[in-house]
Structure 1
Amino acid sequence: MTTEAANILGTGWGGTTPDGDRRRIAIVRLTVGLVQGIVLYLLLRATEGDSASWSQRHPDLFAPALLTALFLPAVLLSGVGKLRLWVYVVWSLIAGLVLALLAWHDIARQADGAREATFPLFVFAAAALFIAHHLVVPADRERRLAASYPAYFDAAWMAGVQGVLSVGFAGAFWLLLLLGASLFKIIGLSFLSDLLQESWFSLPLTGLAFATAVHLTDVRDGLIRGVRTVALMLLSWLLLVITVLVGGFLLALPFTGLDGLWQTGSATALVLSAAAALIVLINTAYQDGRPDHRPPVVLRYGVRVASALIAPLVGLAFWGLALRIGQHGLTPDRIIATACAVIGAVYGLGYLFAAVRPGPWMKPLERTNVAAAVLSVAVILALFSPLADPARLSAKDQVARLERGAVAAKDFDYDFLRFDSGKAGLAALDRLIQSPDAEIAELARAARVRVDREAYSIQDRNERLAGIRIQPVDGQTTPPSFTAQLGRQDALMYTCNSEAPCRLRTLDLDGDGRVEVLLAAPGSIMAFAQDAGGQWSQTGSYSVMCGKVSPNDLPKAFAEAVTVAPASLPDLVVGDQTLKAQPQIRCATASPG
């Protein structure tokens, strides 16, 4: 086999000297950066215009192109020179295809309308791609399916440092360009500032700057390792801080109880974030596990203690999720949180085993990290594909809860199916419209034709409705029909509460023989009238503009006495149209003595 053939089948980048390889790799990287910038510019142009823009007419093509253009270049930039040519090509094609399919499914599952790629897709796709790429690179370099743990550690953390430095380089590059443009502008030359405002120039230039930074950091491998060593050393000492804080938190729980934690509404996210911080900082201390890289004794003990804290945190996350799911069923957010908790459980159990197992210090941590990495990629692919689509699973679970009576028909969140569950939710609504339960069918039919969602969620609406407080003035009572229709009066949910109950008075304001309802709150009085069909609705409001009564004292004065005064300006009838007056408010001022 010739040297050239060996190069093609081996490194795949040709050349007979390191300088020749570096030049070829630099050309590939700069080309990738330039092409990425051009493609992003073309995609930006595709969004210009109103609803008739190409991106709006073809979201199933635009979203895959955007996701691939954003993230695939990272694989191309990082893999060049580190993977054999055939592995580089095959892996790049697989990564690009998977990114495109994930984005396509994200669009395809959404209902008709303004369909756009969702934010979680970008976050989780980037995470899965980073993890998968740094499982592939070490395995190819060592020519085996599963590489050694030091190889995984070296590849992932080096890439992380390179990424941070490259972003910093691109940012500094742009700051210098903006500074130069400002300097030229003060002497009357605006060509550079005009160029920087043009997307056809700025996007390719940014791609080139980032690609240049990736190449420069890759060439100076020793310097990057030094930066990584310093960063790991500094971060590892933060492990002691988070260990003390989390340990204190867990020790305090038996005395404080869990009620405060559950009342935050974000308990699962908080404890999983704490677990993630522990995992990252434990790895900064453990590094690649080699004896010559072990941290000081105090950190080694800190790692063992911290490793034992992850499992309780993940247990709390599962507990909180179980409570919320039991009370309110599945939602996409809870499904994603459950998936994160499952991955956290792998870390928690693996690290706990590593902490208590005799033998080499924390050695089982290595297998745990690799297993959790593979599981993370698999879970993300499942969540953003038809396998475990959170919207589909949530819609199915919510409908099942309704059908078995776990939630009353009037309390069911039909808007979730209409607006938050995509095509699966609409299909579920269509099935509910055919329900033998007349109330369910009617509410589902109303939600199906609704264009905009209700202002409040079902849970929020019910809580606020239960919190409405109305006190009739002495000698009067609240009309029963008005009480029965409080749920129709959204304004009362925020105005009349236990801290500031509204005072109620019935009065015939217009002399038609039917009483209106007046509700006084601090600063204003709301008027409600009943139509021929018996429906109450707000017809107007009165505000304190002039006078000696302060807004906060208005309900008290209202309870004492109310009279009706004629309007300062009557209505006008022009042709067959009645015009309402909008008087100007002028408060009288005291004349000087």
Structure 2
Amino acid sequence: MDNQLPKPFIFVLSLVQGIVLTLLYRSVENQLWPATEPVWLFSLVTFTISFVLLTLLAVEQANIKKLLSYLLPFSLLLSLLGAYIGAQQYPIALVNNDALTAIFIFTALIASFKALMYIQQLIDNEAISYSQLFKLSWRNFILFAECWLFVLIFWGILQLGAALFNALEITFFSELLKKDWFWIPTLTLAFGFATVIFRGVMHIEDNISFLLQTLIKFLLPVLTVISLGFLATLPFTGLDKLWQTGSGSSLVLWLQVLTLFFVNTVYQYAADQRPYKIVIHRLVFFGIALLPIYSVIAAYGIWLRVEQYGITVGRCWAILVCLLLACFSFGYLVGIVKKRDAWQQVQSKVNIVMGVVILIFMLLVNSPVLNFQRLSTESQIARLNEGDVSIEEFDYYYFSSNLGRQGYLAMQKLQAQIQSIHPEQAMIIERMYVNPDNPEFEALAEQTSITEFVTHSMFWPRRQVFSDELIQAVFESLHFNRWTPLKSHSFYFIAIDLNQDEQLDYVFIDETNHSTEANLWLHDGTQWQSKYMTIDNPEQIKLLKTLIDADNIEVAQPKYNDLKIGDVLFKVRSNIDY
């Protein structure tokens, strides 16, 4: 195998990848194109990583052209999907869609490994068989893990060396490791070098694979006993206790995933080969035959949650996983019914077909066809429009934290619709879309002026009551930065006689979606000082403006006066329920 590897090609490809990734990294650091256009950035990064990675894992001297003829279109397809994921990052200043990016990376890896094992069989002119697909998938995964382990150890050694030279006050090496033009190509070259090493000793991957499969062979009967025991007790306990955990469907799906994975690891050979003796074989046999029950239970649990609370991104994934696992489980059941002990003939066909199905779905979830954020947005808005949830109880924050661009667009439309009839909820939406990580907001925060602060504030009963010195003191007490930009706050100045001394007292209120703070401002003869005020807001009101506009302001006497013993003052909290 080592003699068949085109080593110069591998090292040149790794170096080119390092150079391209360095340029892309610099564009992000300096906010230059393509970093300023996520569509291009995601597309280029996806192609650069996926094409080179898959090539390094499979290329040989004799198959370069044929391999590239398959990998190039697949990598271009992935880059197009990456461009779509990049498009879901707009508007950049207001949308934070890191969760979608993470999902894209994970699903693209699964799709890449699925595609690679089919491509490897095609270029070898072999009939596609499950046993060979299984062997290739384990080889590729272990090779990938070994290469990354090598890179991490290699980088750790470089860091250790730099630290040792730093101790001698030689900082050249530590400074060199900070240079992107050095560390990025170095790591890509290290990965390429690792592929040459480990692909030259492929028997190591096979031995590791055999060891893991042996362990799983002993664990499968244990898992089957647990599975059958759970099903046996379920008729007596019912499903209510399972749903009370809040993760009943997830637990069932995980048990099903592990069982299917273990079964496919152990039963991968010819139909007449049995890895267990007859008793254990029958135990596992019945465990496999009953797997569809878990699909029914999980589907019922997911349906209950969707019926109660609508579709969310998490439930979309649960539906997809439940569907895929059901296809495996019912496919195996059909094989058992038709072939009995020779069910592995059907298992092999099911696995080959389902491998392609999983590959297709891993691509579709990153496309407009199965955009889970869009589906969730439509479902939640439909529940609001149909009256299943009130405008006050509606979960606005889910849209900003989980639904990215789709949630943003829906909230802008909703805000326009409810601006006049539900101003408090409209203000919640307006405050939500402030991205503290965006440099533009940091720059705006640093430039916030007292004029902007006054314009953004509300004064009651009128602006003229408040001195410029007081407003200046309040403004200087606030700290606008990228974590607390002006737009995320509502400010209120209230002038009212609180202690009945016929003199106005001044209260400043800082209101956000997450908290409300208030301070009483007093002048001690030389300067303004503030005293913190406790707040009791049982209705969780988040827009005082409507109440202030209606002059709904009054002085409320405490239910209990304070108790003073000497210089010790005891205050009864107003929010205690007696």
From 113, 119, 122, the equivalent of 2:105 is 122
RMSD over aligned CA atoms reads 4.2
From 203, 207, 213, the equivalent of 2:194 is 213
Is contact 1:131-1:377 (8 Å) kept?
yes
Task: Give the alignment of 1:72-83 within 5 angstroms.
Answer: 72-81=51-60
**Residue aligned with 2:534, SS:** strand
Give the equivalent residue in structure 1 for 2:182: 201
Give the equivalent residue in structure 1 for 2:527: none
Give the equivalent residue in structure 1 for 2:500: 511
Is contact 2:139-2:209 (8 Å) kept?
yes
Distance 1:208 1:433 in 2: 51
Residues 54/533 of structure 1: CA separation in 2 closer, same or farther (3 Å cut): farther
Give the equivalent residue in structure 2 for 1:327: 308
Give the equivalent residue in structure 2 for 1:363: 345
Distance 1:402 1:268 in 2: 26
Confirm whether residue 534 of structure 1 aligns to residue 552 of structure 2. Answer: yes
From 316, 322, 336, the equivalent of 2:297 is 316
Q: How far apart are 1:365 and its partner, in Å?
A: 1.6
Q: How far apart are 1:443 and its partner, in Å?
A: 7.1
Task: Give the alignment of 1:73-222 within 5 angstroms.
Answer: 73-81=52-60, 84-114=63-93, 118-143=101-126, 147-222=128-203
The amino acid of 1:128's aligned partner reads A
Is contact 2:43-2:86 (8 Å) kept?
no
Task: Give the alignment of 1:340-489 within 5 angstroms.
Answer: 340-356=321-337, 357-360=339-342, 362-417=344-399, 420-429=402-411, 432=414, 439=421, 445-446=426-427, 449-452=430-433
Task: Give the alignment of 1:249-328 within 5 angstroms.
Answer: 249-289=230-270, 294-295=275-276, 300-301=281-282, 303-328=284-309
Distance 1:300 1:212 in 2: 44
Distance 1:526 1:111 in 2: 40
Distance 2:163 2:428 in 1: 55
The amino acid of 1:337's aligned partner reads A
Give the equivalent residue in structure 2 for 1:578: none
Q: How far apart are 1:61 and its partner, in Å?
A: 1.2
Confirm whether residue 67 of structure 1 aligns to residue 46 of structure 2. Answer: yes
Task: Give the alignment of 1:567-582 within 5 angstroms.
Answer: none
Is contact 2:143-2:205 (8 Å) kept?
yes
The amino acid of 2:77's aligned partner reads V
Residue ranges of structure 2 left out of the alignment (5+ in a row): 436-496, 508-531, 538-546
CA deviations 1:320-341 (Å, max 9, x no partner) are 2111110111122211221111
Residues 315/559 of structure 1: CA separation in 2 closer, same or farther (3 Å cut): closer
From 19, 24, 39, the equivalent of 1:43 is 24
Is contact 2:134-2:268 (8 Å) kept?
yes
Residue ranges of structure 1 left out of the alignment (5+ in a row): 1-17, 455-507, 517-523, 561-593
**Residue aligned with 1:270, SS:** helix
Distance 1:307 1:193 in 2: 56
Distance 1:438 1:327 in 2: 30
Confirm whether residue 27 of structure 1 aligns to residue 16 of structure 2. Answer: no
Is contact 2:104-2:366 (8 Å) kept?
yes
Give the equivalent residue in structure 1 for 2:471: none
CA deviations 1:223-272 (Å, max 9, x no partner) are 33223212211222122332233333333333343334323333333322
CA deviations 1:391-428 (Å, max 9, x no partner) are 22222222333333333333333444566444544554
Q: How far apart are 1:89 and its partner, in Å?
A: 1.9
Structure 1 vs Structure 2: percent identity of aligned residues? 27
CA deviations 1:509-530 (Å, max 9, x no partner) are 622799x9xxxxxxx9935698
Taking CA–CA contacts closer than 8 Å with sequence separation of 6 or more, which of the two structures ends up with the larger relative contact order? Answer: 2
The amino acid of 1:387's aligned partner reads V
Q: How far apart are 1:123 and its partner, in Å?
A: 0.7
Is contact 1:110-1:421 (8 Å) kept?
no
Distance 2:329 2:562 in 1: 59
Is contact 1:429-1:444 (8 Å) kept?
no
Give the equivalent residue in structure 1 for 2:511: none
Residues 267/436 of structure 1: CA separation in 2 closer, same or farther (3 Å cut): same
Q: How far apart are 1:378 and its partner, in Å?
A: 1.4
How many residue pairs are counted as aligned between the two chains? 473
**Residue aligned with 2:188, SS:** helix
Give the equivalent residue in structure 2 for 1:235: 216
Q: How far apart are 1:342 and its partner, in Å?
A: 0.9
Distance 2:219 2:567 in 1: 61
Distance 2:255 2:12 in 1: 41
Q: How far apart are 1:124 and its partner, in Å?
A: 0.8
**Residue aligned with 2:344, SS:** coil
Distance 2:556 2:364 in 1: 49
Distance 2:367 2:300 in 1: 27
Give the equivalent residue in structure 2 for 1:570: none
Is contact 1:182-1:193 (8 Å) kept?
yes
**Residue aligned with 1:57, SS:** coil
The amino acid of 1:534's aligned partner reads N
**Residue aligned with 2:106, SS:** helix
Distance 2:123 2:109 in 1: 21
Distance 1:418 1:538 in 2: 37
Distance 2:575 2:57 in 1: 74
Is contact 2:311-2:379 (8 Å) kept?
yes
**Residue aligned with 1:409, SS:** coil
Distance 1:418 1:163 in 2: 36
The amino acid of 2:110's aligned partner reads A
The amino acid of 2:288's aligned partner reads S
The amino acid of 1:129's aligned partner reads S
Q: How far apart are 1:176 and its partner, in Å?
A: 3.3
Q: How far apart are 1:76 and its partner, in Å?
A: 0.9
Distance 2:355 2:133 in 1: 11
The amino acid of 1:250's aligned partner reads L
TM (norm. structure 1) is 0.69
CA deviations 1:487-526 (Å, max 9, x no partner) are xxxxxxxxxxxxxxxxxxxxx9622799x9xxxxxxx993
The amino acid of 2:534's aligned partner reads M
